[in-house]
Chain A
Amino acid sequence: MDFTTFAKPSTVDTNNDKSNSDLHFWKHVEYIENHGKDQDDFEYCMTEFLRMSGIYWGVTALDIMNQLDRLDRKSIIDFIRRCQCPVTGGFAPCEGHDPHMLYTLSAIQILCIYDALNEIDCEAVVRYVSGLQQFDGSFFGDKWGEVDTRFSFCAVAILTLLGRMEGTINVERAVKFVMSCCNQTDGGFGSKPGAESHAGLIYCCVGFLSLTQSLHLLDIDKLGWWLCERQLTSGGLNGRPEKLPDVCYSWWVLSSLTIMGRLHWISADKLKEFILSCQDNETGGFADRTGNLPDIFHTLFGIGALSLLGFEGLKPINPTLCMPQYVIDRLGIKPQILPKP
């Protein structure tokens, strides 16, 4: 039997088209709130290797929607405490896994949102992060030596959130390494020197430069053009030329353009339309593309992008750190943002 008989992409569902011009606010709140309630859920279980980031995505999205109290603050903080590695000071995604820069940033971001940095050993985190910097300024993701500009971003984001950038790492070398990953063809960045430009990594590098107050090193007009060319006729943004649009690139591209003062180079209305078309109006949550299955990752980046576009009913989000702006203000952090020309 041809099992595609049952396949019915929701794009052709006429009910969807109409109602998706609005944000299904409460459906999304419900979707995030329920995420992980069934511990035996297959997807949930298979993604435990990134649990800490999963929690960050959910916590941030709910806070942007002003519904943070729906999650249990105490149990989340207890979980985070259990994930700090007593030896290295870094955070694991969940118990039984190894610490990594990626999950250390997520843990710190959640703690900042909950105003709970005092619950963990911050000095140990500083030691972990600074210990991963290499002589050329780059950062390992963990002790196994993978080098990537994502980790450069994580490192300075963690230290900025902890207020410990001064005197802990060699910022000058860190900047030099990131700039060595800048491509002459398009002004963008890849994961390492020579790597092809990619919107996700561009966000990491532009965010890194914003945190180190070094945006003057960017070729704004060249990179800005490449980024605004990511918008496709559907209104959605892709991550590289000739690729499909994806809601998560709404965040990577949009936040980079915002930091660079070039948000006006794309059509905000068309992008809004695209993001809203990726909502799942049955279960709540956002998918990568219209008609696909939703997940918590795309849900944050959908909500986050709508917030950057000034969508009503959402709290403002900081483009550099992807956290509610009021949290960044509370911490007294001022990531660099460039004005429009």
Chain B
Amino acid sequence: MHGRLKVRTTEEERERKKKEQALKVKAYRAAMVKIQEKRLSHELDGEMLLLTSQILLRNPDVSTLWNIRRECAEQIVLKTEDLEEQQAIFETELNFSEQCLLVNPKSYNCWHHRCWILEHSPKPNWEREVQLCTKYLKMDERNFHTWDYRRYVVEKANIPKQSELDFCTEKIKVNFSNYSSWHHRSLLLPLLYPYEGEAQPKRAMSEEKLQNELEMVLTAAFTDPNDSSAWFYQRWLLGYSRQELDVCAFRCNNKHAMLAFTNPLILDAKDVAITNSEGTVIIKLTNWHSINKTKADNVWFFSLTDNAISYKEFPKEAFLEINRSDISLKKIILKTYKESLFYFKSPNQQHAFSKNVLNELQSQLESCESLLEYEPDSKWTLLTSALLMHAIDAQKYHNKSLENLEKLQKVDALRENYYKDLASRWILEKFLLNWMDSDAVPYELDLRSENLNALYYSQYLCIADKLLLPNNLTNYSSMKQLQGFSIFEY
């Protein structure tokens, strides 16, 4: 029961309502008994349609009654081969379900009944259904049932994607605050304007189109900066997906090997080997264990003790070969540290946007900054300007973007911990980027002076011999991947 206000009524009013409801209950029960009797004796006739319609018009959620109406339709199809006659029952059902939708436009049963009717109808008119959706979306532009149904009938009616995109644009122009429309748009653009560049994770769409969309969405967002719909879309355009599946760290000595991935995966025995420059397999690493003993994991461990190999046997130029369809980089050159081989790639390294997009982002950042002068506590502007800075040049704007996140902890206190975690993530990204090129890799990782509230990217740290955590994070030290590479025992 949703959205029904509790109202105080007089005794008299209550009594009157009670009597009225008692009559309704009686009528409902009588109709249900009659319907069940008729169903048992296979009387799937006009009277059945009438009886079920009386209840469904008041309460379209009684799914059994819709089932019975479909049985009626099936019966007629069985009885007659005349397509016109068949079509008539389907038309009746379409009209009836539309009547019910007027009573409750959010009835799962009702929308599904329409799908079933059209799928079984000899002459479905899909274009008419698209128009029906347009009409219903005028009444409620956020009804997700209507949007779902629209996507289904648009496909059936072979409506070009471009014209659906135009429909979206119209809807958004009428009302910017329409997350449903932005969502529909987000499905069409990657298909109409696919991204073909190198950036990982892939951009949402071609950079040319991306620039147009960025312009459009910021206009929308600035029209009402407190409305979240457009800001979500903006963040998607800027790109905030998790990293694509990839190897992020590897280390191997004559005792064991540790292999870390950007995201958890299920590692297969035949996936990994160490090869030389000619591509000859030196060691097949077949017996991997999830370090946390889970089905999928982002750190995998391999013990060489059974078929021990001495360091001398590692080739001068060694490669890690990964043979999986879901990982793009198949052959990774390994570095040497003392008597071990290793590889490390810091997380979320940025791939610069094209010049045009960058200019657009820069001008958006300026707009945000000037808006913040008037409304310094505007949550969405603060967050978006931090995200813009991060997208333009995370290194250059590092401190400034963190200042915004700190301010957000106060102006949007409900989500204080979200901003703290996001800041921790950015801090660690920067730290690991520097670590990658430092002398300390892979020997020592000293995070003690970093202002971290959470430990993201813990899998990246598995190759370090010595790991120094900040005081507030020492409770993480029991994590398997943080035991230190050289002393790790499975």
Binding site for B on A (CB under 8 A): 3, 6-10, 40, 42-43, 45-46, 49-50, 92, 96-98, 100, 142, 144-146, 148, 183-187, 190-192, 194-198, 213-214, 216, 219-222, 224-226, 228-229, 231, 233, 235, 240-244, 246, 264-267, 270, 280, 287-289, 291-293, 295, 297-298, 340-341
The reply to whether A196 and B183 contact each other, CB–CB distance below 8 Å, is: yes
Please indicate which of the listed interface residues B5, B10, B108, B425 has the most CB atoms of chain A within 10 Å of its own CB: B5
Q: What are the residues of chain B within 8 A of A265 when measuring CB–CB?
A: 415, 417-418, 421
In the bound complex, CA of A45 to CA of B55 (Å): 12
Residues of A within 8 A of B417 (CB): 264-265
Given contacts A96-B32, A264-B417, A340-B454, contact A219 B242 (CB under 8 A): yes
Asked if B7 is at the interface (CB within 8 A of a chain A CB), the reply is yes
Proximity string of chain B (187-226) to chain A, C-beta cutoff 8 Å, 1 when within and 0 when not: 1001000000000000010000000000000000000000
Partner of A185, one of B32, B228, B233: B233
Using Cβ atoms and an 8 Å threshold, which residues of chain A touch B296? 213-214, 216
Residue pair B151, A10 in contact (C-beta under 8 Å): no
In the complex, chain B residues 32-66 whose Cβ is within 8 Å of any chain A Cβ: 32, 36, 59, 61-64, 66
Q: How far is the CA of A281 from the CA of B226 in the complex (A)?
A: 34
In the complex, A23→B314 CA distance in Å? 67
B425: chain A residues within 8 A (beta carbon): 221, 341
B242 close to A222 (CB less than 8 A): yes
Interface: B3 (CB within 8 A): yes
How many residue-residue contacts, CB under 8 A, span A and B?
182
Please state if A185 and B6 are interface contacts (CB–CB under 8 Å): no
The answer, yes or no, to whether B67 is at the interface (CB within 8 Å) is: yes
Cα separation A264 to B265 with both chains bound (whole Å): 26
What distance in Å separates the Cβ of B176 from its nearest Cβ neighbour in chain A?
11
Is the CB–CB distance between B2 and A194 below 8 Å?
no
Rounded to whole Å, the gap between the CB of A15 and the closest CB of chain B is: 13
Using a Cβ–Cβ cut-off of 8 Å, how many residues does chain B contribute to the interface with A? Answer: 75
**Partner among B3, B67, B108, B264 whose Cβ is within 8 Å of the Cβ of A288:** B3
Query: In the complex, A264 Cα to B418 Cα: how many Å?
Result: 8
Residues of B within 8 A of A98 (CB): 63-64, 67
Structural contact, A243 and B142, CB atoms closer than 8 A: yes
Q: Which of B61, B184, B232, B295 touches A241 (beta carbons < 8 Å)? A: B232
Which one of A148, A185, A216, A288 contacts B236 once the chains associate, using CB atoms below 8 Å? A185
Are A246 and B183 within 8 A (Cβ)? no
Give the distance to chain B from A335, nearest Cβ to Cβ, in Å: 13
User: B413 to A267, Cβ gap below 8 A?
Assistant: yes
Would you give the shortest CB distance from B214 to chain A, in whole angstroms? 15
User: Smallest Cβ distance from A296 to chain B, in angstroms?
Assistant: 9
CA distance A267 to B419 in the complex (A): 13
Cα-based distance from A67 to B177 in the complex (angstroms): 45
Query: A292's contact among B3, B21, B67, B228, by CB below 8 Å, is which?
Result: B3
Q: Are B180 and A42 in contact (CB under 8 A)?
A: no
A241 touches B5 (CB 8 A): no
Bound CA span A240–B8, Å = 31
A242 touches which of B28, B59, B229 (Cβ 8 Å): B229
Given A293-B4, A295-B1: A49 and B144 within 8 A (CB)?
no
Task: Decide if A6 touches B13 in the complex (CB within 8 Å).
Answer: yes
Task: A265 to B21: give the CA distance in the assembly, Å.
Answer: 45
A49 vs B424: C-alpha distance when bound (angstroms): 50
Q: Judge whether B190 and A184 touch: CB under 8 Å.
A: yes
User: CB within 8 A of B179: which of A142, A148, A240, A287?
Assistant: A240
Q: Which residues of A contact B413 (CB under 8 A)?
A: 267
State whether the Cβ of B317 lies closer than 8 Å to any Cβ in chain A: no
Shortest Cβ gap from B226 to chain A (Å): 10
- Measured CB to CB, the nearest residue on chain A to B36 is A96
A155 CB, min distance to chain B CBs, angstroms: 17
Of all chain B residues, the one with the shortest Cβ separation from A39 is: B25
Q: A216-B296, A228-B418, A229-B228 are in contact. Are A297 and B7 (CB under 8 A)?
A: no
Pair A50/B142 contact, Cβ less than 8 Å: no
Residues of A within 8 A of B147 (CB): 195-196
Complex CA gap A224/B297 in Å reads 20
A184 proximity list for chain B (CB < 8 A): 186, 190, 204, 236, 241
- The reply to whether the CB of B24 lies closer than 8 angstroms to some CB of chain A is yes
Question: Which listed residue (A142, A244, A270, A292) contacts B6, Cβ 8 A?
Answer: A292
CA–CA, A142 to B109, complex, Å? 12
Cβ A291 vs Cβ B64 within 8 A: no
Contacts of A235 in B (CB 8 A): 414
| Max chain A Cβ within 10 angstroms of own Cβ: one of B32, B180, B297, B415 | B415
Beyond A213-B296, A226-B232, A267-B413, whether A293 also contacts B25 by CB under 8 A is no
Report the minimum CB–CB distance from A106 to chain B (whole Å).
14
Shortest A269–chain B CB gap in Å is: 10
B67 touches A293 (CB 8 A): no
Find B61's partner among A43, A49, A198 (CB 8 Å cutoff): A49
Contact of B400 with A by CB under 8 A = no
Q: Point out the residues of chain B lying under 8 angstroms from A231, CB to CB.
A: 414-415
Q: Which 9 A-B pairs have the closest CB atoms?
A: A216-B264, A42-B21, A216-B296, A295-B1, A341-B454, A8-B8, A97-B64, A7-B7, A265-B418
- Counting CB contacts under 8 A, is B455 at the interface? yes
State whether the Cβ of B311 lies closer than 8 Å to any Cβ in chain A.
Answer: no
Instruction: Assess the A40–B22 pair: CB atoms within 8 A.
Output: yes
For the complex, give the distance between the alpha carbons of A170 and B177 in Å.
41
What are 18 A-B interface contacts by the 8 Å CB criterion? A7-B7, A8-B8, A49-B59, A96-B36, A97-B64, A144-B116, A184-B186, A184-B204, A194-B187, A196-B180, A214-B296, A216-B296, A225-B418, A240-B144, A241-B228, A243-B142, A297-B1, A341-B454
Question: A195, A213, A267: which contacts B414 (Cβ < 8 A)?
Answer: A267
Q: With both chains docked as a complex, state the minimum distance between the C-beta of B393 and any C-beta of chain A, in angstroms.
A: 21
B63 touches A45 (CB 8 A): no
Q: Determine if B7 and A9 form an interchain contact, defined as CB atoms under 8 angstroms apart.
A: yes
Partner among A8, A267, A280, A289 whose Cβ is within 8 Å of the Cβ of B3: A289
Are B36's CB and A146's CB within 8 A? no
Contacts of B240 in A (CB 8 A): 221-222
Asked whether, in the complex, the Cβ of A241 is within 8 Å of the Cβ of B179, the reply is yes
Residue from the list B1, B8, B414, B455 in contact with A293, Cβ < 8 A: B1
* B255 lies within 8 A of chain A by Cβ: no
